[in-house]
Structure 1
Amino acid sequence: EDDTFAHSKLIIMWGWNPAYTFHGGNTFYYMRMAKQRGCKFVLVDPQYTDSAAVYDAWWIPIKPNTDAAMMAGMAHHIFTNNLQDQKFINKFCLGMDAGTMGEYKGKENFKDYILGTYDKTPKTPEWAAAICGVKAEDIIKLAEMYAKTKPAALKASWAPGRASYGEQYNRMAAALQAMTGNIGVLGGCAEGVGKAWHSESVAYPYDENANLWWASIKSDRWAHCVLNYPNVKREELGLWPREDKLDGQPPNIKGIFWQGSDWFNQLTNINKEIQAIEKLELVVCMDSTITPSGIWADYLLPIATHFERHDVALPWYKGHYYIHRPKVIEPLGESKTDFQVFTELSYRLEALDPSLKNLGKRYNPRADRSYFQNPDATDEAYLKAWWEGSVQHHQHVTMSWDEFKKHGTYKFKLSEPHVAFREQITKGKPFETPSGKIEILATQLADITDWTKTQYGYEIPYIPKWVEPFESLNHPIAKQYPFHLISPHPRWRTHSIFNNIPWLRETYEQEVTINASDAKKLDIKTGDTVEVWNERGKCVVPAYVTERVLPGVLVLFEGAWMDPDKNGVDRAGNPDFLTLDNPSPAGAFAYNNAMVQIKKTDLVHRPGWDDLAVARSSVFRRDM
């Protein structure tokens, strides 16, 4: 939990910009407390972020998608100088070194990989420096800081993992956290991605068909599947091989149902999606806003907002309190809640197919078909039963449901800061892994003998390793496309949400950030309109010139609502016209793996979906 940051003496923001992506409701408060107590801050990132400025962090600019190599260089220095917490390793880790292999003796261990025992390539700081562009002495300095400062929090955020073999970065970070003994201690950090607090169950029911994991494909591969069916391999889609369920063969996708998402705008390689969507027989979009996904849909189902339904919220993506969300107004127009729509669809499917007997009642057991017209009493029943059966029983909350509704919020009273894995470290509780240990060697991966019979399809190293990404500044493709494009989260919208709010567009213009030295070579100045392109697509945006980004790197924030012209050029500046749809075997999206070219252009940038592209208030002000 973020309150533990207040106790850290060193916080490494690895690919993390909490000023824009704050993981928890009070992140800033606890980070400020740490700063006031003398905590040192480090930022490892291709760009000097606002967070680095606020916390006066030591900025280590790094080539995108080379993070695992730098971490390997840090691990080498720690091992060769005996700076690791060997007692912690011996007690809690599997596969960290030859002495912690357990029943997997004879397989590779992490330490010997780092030392080059197997491949005769020691992962020295000098080796890492040649890959990631960070000086070897800086890698050594950070390794020393992290190994010797107790407690230290290595916050391995998501951006570096949103790349080919991005899971190797997350696993390498976990190895560093474990080898320094910073897991399960106050002020440490064992987190990559995860929730620190969660409910024991959900309020609404689900049956055996609620999660058809055995029939699902990787979401960024739907267009590839549509365009290449039937000549597409199961492993290209991340489809589970199951002889007893759909025989593991690629699906012949005829339609898409977008529900509560703007994925047509947000998934990779949009031009490929456009080709695919034109082949579909049916596209349905359920949303409260007509997003770009809705524009391309055959049918739009208007969905009630959270102001128009009764619910409970938990702060994203952690934060130990519940928020009551009462119904403020009746749904406008013909809009219904998602649950109303799916309940009615269940009854209609039941009527069409006799084999789907009682589907409506099975889907929504507390209601009958009248739920479509009047959901309030049923929603209240589900929420109250969840509160009394899960929150009060499992989480030992004494506040009644009626009192919670009156109060509006419930904050958990914790006797001490919530530290992930504290019980495993202090009380001997097994970790939730097959071995009960911190698995530096992933037993599930180590046991696989035929990768074609897995959902991965392709081999994944069973210990953390540096694997070359699909595209990077070190790749031969850089000769044709010399700039590495990254697409982090913006501050002025949430992904694509709120991009249609004119007043917010007035505060910020979608733009591509370029290093001053690169801009000078290309005669680009701040405000110039440029085109950014590769073989997958092209987009048009203004340029912002700065020294706060590594040379050779471009920054274009994700989430801009697409506005392609008749030639497929996106005039709004959506970076996913340029991104790869090839997923990493373990499932990572390759959002940050796009190599591109850039130049000044006469093409027109269209920042919004109205003629003015600014707040309507500007019209009002001119008329006064």
Structure 2
Amino acid sequence: MILTRRSFLKWSAALGGSAALVGGLKFGLEDVGAANERESQILSTCCYHNCGGRCILNAEVRDGVILRILPDQSAEDSFDNPRAIPCVAGRAIKRWVYAPERLKYPMKRVGTRGEGKFERISWEEALDTIASEMIRIKEEYGNDAFYCNYATGQLAGGIDMTYKDLGPMSRVFHLFGGYVNFYGTYSDACYSAVQPYITATDNNSDDDLVNSKLIVLFADNSLVTRAGGKGGGYHYLKAKEAGAKFIVVDPRQSATAVTLDADWVPINPGTDVAFIAALAYVMVEEDLHDKEFMATHSIGFDESNLPEGAPSNSSWMAYLKGDADGTPKTPEWAAPITGIPADRIIQLAHEMANTKPCAIIQGLGWQRRAYGEQPVRALPVLAAMTGNFGIKGGGTGMRYRINLGFAGGYFPAGINPIQKSIPVFMWPDYIERGKEMTSGPKDRIKGAEKLEANMKFMWNWAGNTLVNQHSDINRTKKLLEDDSKLEFIVVGDVMMTPSAKFADILLPETTHYEIEDVISGKGEGKTDFVLFNHKLIEPMYECKNILWIAEQVADRLGFGDEFRDGHETREDWLKDMVVAAQEGDEDFPTYEELKKAGLYKIIGQGSVIAAADFREVPESNPLGTETGKIEIYSPHLAAQNDPNEIPAIPKYIPEWEGVSDPLREIYPLMMVGHHAVQRIHSTYDNVDYLQEVHPQALWINSWDAADRGIKNGDEVKVFNERGVVYIPAKVTNRIRPGVTSVPQGAWYTPDEEGNDIRGSVNVLTKYHPTPYAKGNPQHTNLVQVEKA
């Protein structure tokens, strides 16, 4: 929609009369009970960003303007049927929709890539250019040169899903001959890669936590990362109400630790496996572990149940006792590594072994480290040793389970003719040396022995991983600036993000509040839902939705009719999705019924006790691992022939840029990048009042700050060999000495010297894929901090 005077006056009146056209729209706070008394509508919608949850929203709309966002209006709010209410970020949607940073019309790059200089063009020119570049690059390099980048800005299912092999543009690329895909995610690359080689199952469903007496969280901050809706944060609070005690193992005293009044174990980052091994050592030495279960349900716990062909002294027990390396994994050994005193380790081992049932849960933060595969595999060993594996109120030691068996259908993208995929984190290598990448241990591409081309065309839609969320921004910038390597980048987004500035063609996308869609819930706890996402307002400016864009590209490539497959309207596709949902649920409403009701909910799911049948009769109910048992010793990982970095059993491996790296003489502080309550990754970083309430700041311990003459609120310089960030300091004892944290997701904003002035953590993180998953190690960094 082109902004007219009438539209401007409507928005201005509804939003308090303070809108102004200065570099875009600025909106004041509205008074919902103001003079305009015309009848408003309450319409169902949702928060569709990648927090891992899904919240039910309603919007009050009047005269084509969003007046306010309302939380789930369901009458019932019980443990069996809780409301799915939003966090602070989800409540800021109106501010985000009407933000001055909204992209308004198609543009093409006119300066150096990344310079942010663009020229306004028509949709016709933009689409013609995209189609002609696709044809040129296919003719010159073949389909192995095409890549759709990892992006999770729209991750709610429905038509506008933009994740890999889903959504309208995936259908276009499939019909065009395919593209090289990715596997893994920036969130859980190591977790998903090695889960099949320890338990091959997740944990109990989160509603089971109310049955736990003790809940031990490793690297889990669910009251922030899954704060909205009815996800992990909600169920932790319910478990607390039911009397559970919490222990949180984390370098930071997170919001989860504070809110749950948890015992905080302030561990050195990257040393969790040493801590776990010491806990296990105490349990073995004091005969506190479930010997019978370990003998019958695991592989490689001790020498007696190693798989055939495994070398002697390669079991978990041999590792604990030092038979393998001469170093017993005592609490005294672990204490200087982890920073946790030996007597505290012993006390925690007693508490975890003697409290039943005990739920041991891992988050994802610790596997985004140099050797992130190791803690993922180590923690389930504790769950098994303590007798909690497969029982009510206990669990497997993995992440808590999300029940994803219910959906409102997906857009039919078809099959990608190219089955090749690269590790998600290694797309820069694909640009620089794609034709050299192989299925071998250096790259681990899947679906083929090698790639036939370097990346030449990137489609980056609703994602900020191109620059902002990827490691070592300065390295990435330099690579992308050279348009002789990656020849063409299309970016589609709602805002002018740091990644958008690297587009060759930049397209303005509608938000989810400017289209209709059918959205699936996330299945936490005992309920799930499908929601009709109503169109709240007309598309702003010249913004278009991804279905329309895909249709136009398909027309220009000569297969528009095949793409549409008889669907003339967006509603035609939505009706097909509802039919698909009805095939899986005979009670699912018709399209018209769903649109009128706004919500279809199922109640009575959850209560999943993972591996309960395996615990009872393992021979008849094997796990999905190669051996059917808990694979403490993994034959698959042993076959990688890399015992130093990919050991057959989980081991503590000292990290580069970790607690014992000699580089600490130059950069003495370890740095992580925790999730911020005011953002969903980088989404909402431009929302003004979220920045005001939760300003970006470096967490630094008071001792480390005092040594540097830094006081709370001082501007500081955080730096290493990769870059410089200027950011205010938050001096606090809620982070252990020797550790700092820069909340991830702040938009990269360089000054004239190229130093970031907004607190973008990835200026400082390292591009160094993990050994097996080839995942991102973005919490493994050393820095120095000085008062600016």
TM-score, normalising length from structure 1?
Answer: 0.84
Aligned counterpart for 2:786 among listed residues 566, 574, 599: 599
1:267 is paired with a residue whose SS is coil
1:483-528 Cα offsets, whole Å, 9 max, x none, are: 0011000001111000011111111221111111111111111111
Q: 1:411 to 1:317 in 2, by over 3 A?
A: closer
CA contact 2:425–2:774 (8 Å) conserved in 1: no
Q: 2:348 matched to 1:154?
A: no
**Deviation of 1:16 (Å):** 1.6
State the secondary structure of the residue aligned to 1:418.
coil
CA distance in 2, matches of 1:234, 1:346: 33
2:422 is paired with a residue whose SS is: coil
Q: Once the 2 structures are TM-superposed, how far is the Cα of residue 251 of structure 1 from its aligned partner?
A: 4.3
CA distance in 2, matches of 1:297, 1:177: 48
CA distance in 2, matches of 1:54, 1:145: 21
Shift in CA distance, 237/145, structure 1 to aligned 2, threshold 3 Å:
same
Q: Which residue of 1 aligns with 2:264?
A: 59
| Displacement after TM superposition at 1:461 (Å) | 1.4
- The answer as to whether partners of 2:582 and 2:589 remain within 8 angstroms in 1 is no
The aligned counterpart of 2:410 is 203
CA separation of 1:501 and 1:135: change in aligned 2, threshold 3 A: same
Q: Which among 564, 572, 575 is matched to residue 380 of structure 1?
A: 575
Distance 1:424 1:179 in 2: 15
Residue equivalent to 1:548: 734
Aligned mate of 1:256, from 439, 442, 458: 458
**In 2, are the aligned partners of 1:203 and 1:385 still within 8 Å (CA)?**
no
Q: Distance in 2 between matches of 1:421 and 1:66?
A: 28
Residues 528 and 603 in structure 2, CA contact (< 8 A), matched pair in contact too? no
Q: 1:234 to 1:207 in 2, by over 3 A?
A: same
CA contact (8 A) 2:426 2:774 kept: no
1:17 maps to 221
Among 720, 725, 728, the alignment partner of 1:539 is: 725
Q: Distance in 1 between matches of 2:513 and 2:397?
A: 33
Q: Who is 1:616 aligned against?
A: none
- Identify the residue that residue 51 of structure 2 maps to in structure 1: none
Counterpart amino acid of 2:785?
A: I
Partner SS for 1:387: helix
Amino acid of the structure 2 residue aligned with 1:192:
M
Cα distance, 1:29–1:567 mapped onto 2, change above 3 Å? closer
| Residue 90 (structure 2) aligns with | none
Q: Quick check: 1:530 aligned with 2:716?
A: yes
2:602 aligned residue: 412
Offset of residue 474 of structure 1: 1.3
- 87 and 344 in structure 1: CA distance in 2 versus 1, 3 angstrom threshold: farther
Task: Supply the distance in 2 between the matched residues of 1:155 and 1:121 (Cα, whole angstroms).
Answer: 28
- Number of residues of Structure 1 aligned to a counterpart in Structure 2: 572
Within 5 Å, which residues of 2 pair with 1:72-471? 72-103=277-308, 105-106=310-311, 108-190=314-396, 192-193=398-399, 195-199=401-405, 203-209=410-416, 214=420, 216-227=421-432, 238-240=443-445, 245=448, 247-249=449-451, 251-263=453-465, 264-280=467-483, 281-316=487-522, 318-319=524-525, 320-328=527-535, 329-349=537-557, 351=558, 361=562, 364=563, 366-367=565-566, 374-381=569-576, 383-390=577-584, 392=585, 403-414=593-604, 417-426=607-616, 428-448=620-640, 460-471=646-657
Structure 1 distance, partners of 2:663, 2:240, is 42
The alpha-carbon distance between structure 1 residues 199 and 482, as it changes in their structure 2 partners (threshold 3 A), is same
Shift of 1:376: 1.9
Q: Which runs of 5+ in 1 are unaligned?
A: 352-357, 452-456, 602-624
SS at match of 1:275: helix
CA separation of 1:588/1:220 partners in 2, compared to 1, >3 Å: closer, same or farther? closer
Kept in 1: contact 2:215–2:247 (CA 8 A): yes
Change in Cα spacing, 1:236 to 1:291, as seen in structure 2 (3 Å) is farther
TM-score scaled by length of structure 2 = 0.68
- Deviations along 1:401-422, one digit per CA (max 9) or x if unpaired, are 6554444334433276233333
The residue aligned with 1:354 is none
Q: 3-state SS of the aligned residue for 2:544?
A: coil
- Which residue identity does 1:387 align to in structure 2? A
Do the aligned partners of residues 7 and 291 (structure 1) sit closer, same or farther apart at CA in structure 2, a change above 3 Å counting?
A: same
Q: Cα gap change, 1:98/1:61 in structure 2, threshold over 3 Å: closer, same or farther?
A: same
* Counterpart in the other structure of 2:154: none
Change (3 A) 1:29 1:252: closer
Aligned equivalent of 2:776, options 573, 582, 589: 589
8 Å contact kept, 2:657–2:781: yes
Superposed displacement of residue 558, structure 1: 0.3
Q: CA RMSD in A?
A: 2.8
Task: Give secondary structure in 2 for the equivalent of 1:569.
Answer: coil
Cα drift, residue 332 of structure 1 = 3.6
1:333 and 1:250 map into 2 onto residues whose CA distance is 41
1:420-473 Cα offsets, whole Å, 9 max, x none, are 333433465322222222222223223446x7xxxxx99521211111212112
- Quote the Cα distance in structure 2 between the aligned partners of 1:93 and 1:313: 41
What are the Cα deviations for residues 142-171 of structure 1, in whole angstroms up to 9, with x where unaligned?
111111111111121111111011110111
Q: How many Å separate the matches in 2 of 1:336 and 1:198?
A: 30
Question: Are 1:539 and 1:573, in contact at CA under 8 Å, matched by a contact in 2?
Answer: yes
2:378 aligned partner, one-letter code: M
Give the deviation of 1:560 after TM superposition. 0.3
Q: SS state of the match for residue 20, structure 1?
A: helix
Deviations 1:89-124 (A, max 9, x none): 233322222333344554622222222222122111
Which structure's residues are more often helix, by fraction?
A: 1
Partners of 1:380 and 1:191 lie apart in 2 by 41
Cα deviation, 1:241-297, whole Å, max 9, x if unaligned, reads 66xx4x414842233221221102111100011001101321211222222111221
CA contact (8 A) 2:321 2:328 kept: yes
Which protein has greater RCO, CA pairs closer than 8 Å, 6+ apart?
A: 2
Structure 1 counterpart of 2:581, one-letter code: W
